[in-house]
RNA sequence: CGGGGUGUAGCUCAGUAUGGUUAGAGUACCUGGUUUGGGACCAGGGGGCCGAAGGUUCGAGUCCUUUCACCCCGACCA
């Protein structure tokens, strides 16, 4: 492509609302332009990058025997009613009516459509397993789209669905897909981590997220210093505590603790480690048709993990409980304990099972119990893992330590089970001729989000730094002064030669000065720029490598083979 | 969906408290000239229903009402 003919509107100025590097540079370098909240136009450079990523995805999917299809973007609302997701998705589903007054939705994901597609077409266990996927625009009417391509309402996603006759076969497929996804991210040149994820209300037997490591990521993940263990904080668990603080010695007793309400005050009052205190976090849990106050008890040194709390309570949503609501139930905020009290549902963290020598609220103003032994309630109370891991906790898989980092969720793979096949009555006949619902897996990967992720990980103050697998053009030939006939001729020659060798090449033949064209090349982020300039009279050109920002002098006669060698 | 903010040239923004020439700057764009190794310089030029609709006024970018859009914090996010 000749730069003089290319539609690449670069700009010195970033859009005023952009804060992320990927958003700023993709906009400045002429890749994307916003059309409305969470909606973007892809310009030629972005389109090329997207195609690169899609090609890699297609290659890796084909290796594991997944077949590409394309389902209609506009989907009948009827299907969403059948699966029950029309309510669950709520306003995120963009719905509208056609001229015949039939309701449709813009597809935010395609479980229903895919199940419908194979239903009554795949009818025998002999035809399983089956893995179908598509790469397609999705639409979710997000309440607050943000961060450029990172969280748009319209985005490109690769969504795959597999169908199996046994959970063992689903497990096998799940592992294969995880491996394929890892290969994709590795080829894209991304630093990532596969982490355990919250399975959420959907249930299923497990899900994993593929997280690209970046400070700008919206998810917090806990990773082990030694082994491969990593988990979203919503699902992270810690191993056995290595060092347990010395236990306070005290007979069970009710103790006057005037005005001592917080865990800090309590630990200081008794001069004990917060590990031996019981913290009560009161929340209001919202269910489909009702809500209730639930008391979550944890060790004083731990914090409640709200997603775990929602799961433990089987609720849809969690909200803060007000003091008034607690008092209305007869509870004493600041002094709530798990013993001799059943004014609200209790959920107790597993780390408190059979805990001894504890200090906890006595459910009476200005009183705490000391020397409490929780084993008395261990047979009757409901225990669940509801605490958030702390940085420095030990790893559940090895003797390493956990630390936090931020990640961008670029993939999510899920063992779905029979949720959708049952809801939509999609069945096959097993060896015994008995109808069985398909056992399903689902595998998502955000293509447009990957474009942004590459830049989040690969940029500097001057702009984008595309990896070789993602670059819109591999080589940029920059003719320093197009009025210099020798320079221009050398540029044209190399341009032609590289094109003949199928190298994706840009020829910057614009009537601009050296500095302007260099800044532009850096902003766009071509991996290599061949500078044909003032050194040409000495028989030399230079190769500028975007990644290292180094320039190397190369004999003009050898430039073709040099370039072919490094790319 | 709660709270806050912003809409003026392609882009980044002044101007709005206190209404008053023909609405500005930088950048980008067009012409000519100079320049040619890190976003050049000089001269000339084109480009605006001041988000939209009503209203107040002799007069509205500026005041009032309504509305729309976009952004930020939070809630939400298979």
pLDDT tens digit string along A58-111?
999 999 999 999 999 999 999 999 988 888 788 889 999 999 999 999 999 999
- Nearest residue to B73 (CA, C1')? A144
Same domain for A202 and A56: yes
CA closest to C1' of B12 belongs to A13
CA of A28 to C1' of B7 (A): 22
Phi-psi region of A151 (alpha: psi -120 to 50; beta: other; left: phi over 0): beta
- Half-sphere exposure of residue A422, counting CA atoms within 13 Å on the CB side? 5
Asked if residue A2 belongs to a domain, the reply is no
CA separation (Å) from A210 to A54, A131, A190, A345, A458? 17, 20, 11, 36, 18
The CATH number that applies at residue A179 is: 3.30.930.10
Q: Residue A101 domain-assigned?
A: no
Q: Smallest CA–C1' separation from A536: which nucleotide?
A: B37
Band of residue A534 on the pLDDT scale cut at 50, 70, 90: very high
Q: Is residue A422 part of a domain?
A: yes
Residue A99 lies in a domain: no
Residue A397 lies inside a defined structural domain of this protein: no
How distant, in Å, are the alpha carbons of A185, A245, A405, A536 from that of A219? 18, 31, 8, 51
The mean pLDDT value for A9-26 works out to 91
DSSP summary character for residue A246: P
Distance CA A511 to C1' B45 in A: 21
Q: Which nucleotide is nearest to A409 (CA to C1')?
A: B77
Q: Quick check: is A34 in a domain?
A: no
Determine the average pLDDT of the residues in A155-175. 96
Shared domain check, A229 and A137:
yes
Q: CATH number of the domain that A529 lies in?
A: 3.40.50.800
Is A82 among the domain residues?
no
- A379 shares a domain with A273: yes
Same structural domain, A410 and A512: no
Q: Are residues A129 and A226 in the same domain?
A: yes
**Which bases on strand B have an atom closer than 7 Å to a protein beta carbon?**
1-2, 10-13, 26-28, 35-40, 69-78
Q: Is the pLDDT of residue A366 over 90?
A: yes
Shared domain for A128 and A215, answered yes or no, is yes
Q: Which helix (H) or strand (E) holds A487?
A: helix A485-500
Predicted confidence band of residue A224 (pLDDT cuts 50, 70, 90): very high
Give the CA radius of gyration of chain A: 30
* Distance from CA(A532) to C1'(B36), angstroms, rounded: 13
Q: Which nucleotide is nearest to A140 (CA to C1')?
A: B77
DSSP-assigned letter for residue A313: H
In the prediction, which pLDDT does A203 show? 54
Residue-level pLDDT at A244 = 87
- C1’ B11 / CA A418, Å: 52
Nucleotide whose C1' lies closest to the alpha carbon of residue A38: B70
Mean pLDDT value across chain A: 93
Tens of pLDDT, residues A392-426: 999 999 999 999 999 999 999 999 999 899 999 99
pLDDT of residue A246: 86
Q: Which domain holds residue A159?
A: 46-73+107-237+404-455
Residues A65, A179: one domain?
Answer: yes
Query: In this predicted model, what pLDDT tens digit does every residue of A132-151 receive, in sequence order?
Result: 999 999 999 998 999 999 99
A442: nt with nearest C1' to CA: B78
Residue A201 and residue A334 in one domain: no
pLDDT score of A346 more than 80: yes
CATH of the domain at A328: 3.90.960.10
What is the percent of chain A with per-residue pLDDT over 70, rounded to a whole number? 99
A186 with A322, same domain? no
For residues A417 and A486, state if they share a domain: no
Give the mean model confidence (pLDDT) for residues A158-173.
97
- The closest nt to A11, taking CA to C1', is B11
What's the CA A141/C1' B63 distance, rounded, in angstroms?
Answer: 38
Give the pLDDT confidence score for residue A131 in this predicted structure. 98
Examine the domain organization and report whether A377 and A433 are in the same domain.
Answer: no
ipTM above 0.85, yes or no: yes
Residue with tokens 């003089």: A4
Q: Is there a domain that residue A32 lies in?
A: no
Domain count across chain A: 3
Distance measured from the CA of protein residue A201 to the C1' of nucleotide B22, in angstroms: 66
Same-domain pairing of A383 and A446: no
């Amino acid at each position: 492509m000749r730069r003089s003919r290319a539609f690449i509107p670069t700009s010195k100025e970033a859009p005023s609302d952009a804060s992320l590097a990927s958003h700023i540079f993709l906009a400045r370098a002429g890749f994307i332009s916003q059309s409305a909240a969470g909606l973007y136009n892809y310009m030629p450079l972005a389109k090329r990058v997207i195609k690169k990523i899609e090609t890699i995805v297609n290659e890796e999917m084909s290796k594991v025997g997944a077949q590409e299809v394309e389902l209609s973007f506009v989907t009948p609302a009827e299907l969403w009613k059948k699966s029950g997701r029309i309510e669950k998705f709520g306003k995120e589903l963009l719905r509208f009516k056609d001229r015949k007054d039939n309701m449709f939705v813009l597809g935010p994901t395609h479980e229903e459509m895919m199940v419908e597609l194979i239903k009554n077409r795949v009818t025998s266990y002999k035809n399983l397993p089956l893995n179908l996927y598509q790469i397609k625009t999705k639409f979710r009417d997000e309440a607050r789209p943000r961060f450029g391509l990172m969280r748009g309402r319209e985005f490109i996603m690769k969504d795959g669905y597999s169908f199996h006759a046994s959970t063992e076969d689903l497990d096998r497929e799940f592992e294969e897909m995880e491996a394929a996804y890892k290969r994709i991210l590795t080829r894209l040149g991304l630093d990532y981590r596969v982490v355990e994820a919250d399975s959420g209300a959907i249930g299923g037997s497990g899900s994993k997220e593929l997280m690209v490591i970046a400070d700008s990521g919206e998810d917090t993940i806990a990773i082990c210093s030694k082994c491969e263990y990593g988990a979203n904080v919503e699902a992270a668990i810690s191993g056995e505590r290595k060092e347990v603080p010395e236990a306070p010695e005290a007979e069970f007793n009710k103790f006057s603790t005037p005005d001592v309400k917080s865990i800090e005050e309590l630990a200081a009052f008794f001069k004990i480690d917060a590990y031996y205190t019981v913290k009560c976090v009161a929340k209001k849990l919202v269910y489909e048709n009702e809500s209730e106050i639930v008391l979550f008890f944890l060790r004083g040194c731990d914090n409640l993990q709200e997603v775990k709390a929602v799961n433990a309570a089987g609720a849809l949503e969690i909200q803060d409980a007000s003091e008034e609501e607690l008092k209305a139930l007869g509870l004493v905020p600041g002094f709530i304990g798990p013993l001799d009290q059943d004014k609200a549902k209790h959920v107790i963290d597993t780390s408190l099972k059979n805990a001894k020598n504890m200090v906890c609220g006595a459910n009476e103003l200005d009183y705490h119990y000391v020397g409490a032994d929780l084993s008395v309630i261990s047979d009757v109370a409901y225990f669940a893992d509801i605490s958030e891991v702390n940085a420095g906790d030990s790893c559940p898989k090895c003797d390493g330590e956990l630390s936090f980092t931020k990640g961008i969720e670029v993939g999510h793979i899920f063992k779905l089970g029979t949720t959708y096949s049952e809801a939509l009555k999609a069945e096959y006949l097993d060896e015994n001729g008995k109808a069985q619902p398909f056992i399903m897996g689902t595998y998502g990967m955000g293509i447009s989000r990957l474009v942004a992720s590459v830049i989040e990980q690969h940029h500097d103050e001057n702009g984008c730094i595309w990896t070789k697998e993602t670059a819109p053009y591999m080589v940029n030939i920059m003719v320093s002064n197009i009025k210099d006939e020798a320079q221009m001729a050398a540029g044209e020659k190399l341009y032609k030669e590289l094109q003949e060798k199928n190298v994706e090449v840009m020829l910057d033949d614009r009537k601009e000065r050296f500095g302007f064209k260099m800044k532009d090349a850096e902003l766009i982020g071509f991996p290599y720029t061949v500078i044909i300039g003032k050194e040409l009279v000495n028989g030399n050109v230079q190769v500028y490598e975007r990644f290292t920002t180094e320039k190397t002098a190369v004999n003009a006669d050898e430039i073709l083979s040099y370039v072919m060698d490094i790319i």
